[in-house]
């Protein structure tokens, strides 16, 4: 999942994805235990060392405090709105080669 996460968005832009700006558009990984946090930190190192992005990764690691289910209009968004996102694309192949 982390591999695909870093393939489909720009993790080097602070509080921004495409034209969308603000902290809700930050690149963030929410972890529920120390093992998940360590795995995420390790993967960020892999992405940084790959030098695929010209800037450093700004993805934050944040504890999962509470999960909120998205509203119905956000569920299956791209199936309902195939042209709905301009900021998510597959930028790179796997980092795990």
How much is the average pLDDT of 66-85?
84
Q: Which residues pair with 90 in a beta bridge?
A: none
Please tell me the predicted confidence (pLDDT) of residue 11.
95
- For residue 39, give both structure tokens: 């795995």
Residue found by looking up tokens 């709905």 in the block:
84
In percent, the amount of the chain with pLDDT more than 90 equals 67
How far is residue 70 from each of residues 9, 64, 90, measured CA to CA in Å?
Answer: 20, 16, 23
pLDDT tens per residue, range 28-74: 999 999 999 999 999 999 999 999 999 999 999 999 999 998 899 88
Q: Provide the whole-model pTM.
A: 0.84
Please tell me the predicted confidence (pLDDT) of residue 87.
66
Matching CATH number, 2-80, of 3.10.20.30, 3.30.1060.10, 3.40.228.10, 3.40.50.300: 3.30.1060.10
How far is residue 47 from each of residues 8, 21, 33, 51, 52, measured CA to CA in Å?
Answer: 13, 23, 21, 7, 7
């Amino acid at each position: 999942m982390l591999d695909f996460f870093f393939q489909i968005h720009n993790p080097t832009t602070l509080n921004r994805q495409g034209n969308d700006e603000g902290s809700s558009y930050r690149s963030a990984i929410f972890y529920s235990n120390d093992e998940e946090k360590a795995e995420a930190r390790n993967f960020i190192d892999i992405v940084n060392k790959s030098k695929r992005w010209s800037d450093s990764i700004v993805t934050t690691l944040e504890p999962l405090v509470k999960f909120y289910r998205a509203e119905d209009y956000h569920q299956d968004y791209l199936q309902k709105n195939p042209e709905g996102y301009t900021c998510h694309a597959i930028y790179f192949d796997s980092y795990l080669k």
